[in-house]
Amino acid sequence: MPERTQRSEARKTLLFALDKYPERIQAIDLDELVLESARQNEKRPAYVKVAVPDEWVKSLRGPREGQNRLLLVEVPREVEERSESSIILPGEL
C-alpha cells in the first residue's frame, strides 16, 4: 500500500476513534517514553528508542489481524495552543 494511502487510512481511523470512542484511546506524550534518540547522519537514519507497554510490542511483532493499531501522531504547537484557548474561531464549532 502506498505511503499516502496508509497515512490517509491511519488518519481516517484516528478521527473515527476520537469521535466515537474517545475513552478507549490512549495518548501518551512521547517525551515520557524516550530512552534514546539520535539525529540523522550520513551513516544512518534518525531514530528514537522508546519504552512502551509489552502489549504494544506484541501488537507490532505478532500477526496484524486481530491486533490494535498503533499510530504516531504529531500535534502542531498552534493546534495545542488553540486547544487551551477559550475563544472559538470560525470552523471550530
Q: Tens of pLDDT along the chain (93 residues)? A: 566 677 888 899 999 999 999 999 988 888 889 999 999 999 999 999 999 988 888 878 767 777 888 888 888 888 778 777 777 777 766
Give the whole-angstrom CA distance, residue 13 versus residue 60: 17
Closest residue by Cα to residue 51 from 35, 28, 68, 29: 35
24 is written with which cell numbers?
A: 478507549
| b/e map 57-71, b = 16+ CB within 10 Å | eebeeeeeeeeeeee
Asked whether 71 and 10 are in contact (CB, 8 A), the reply is: yes
Residue ranges covered by each domain of the chain: 3-83
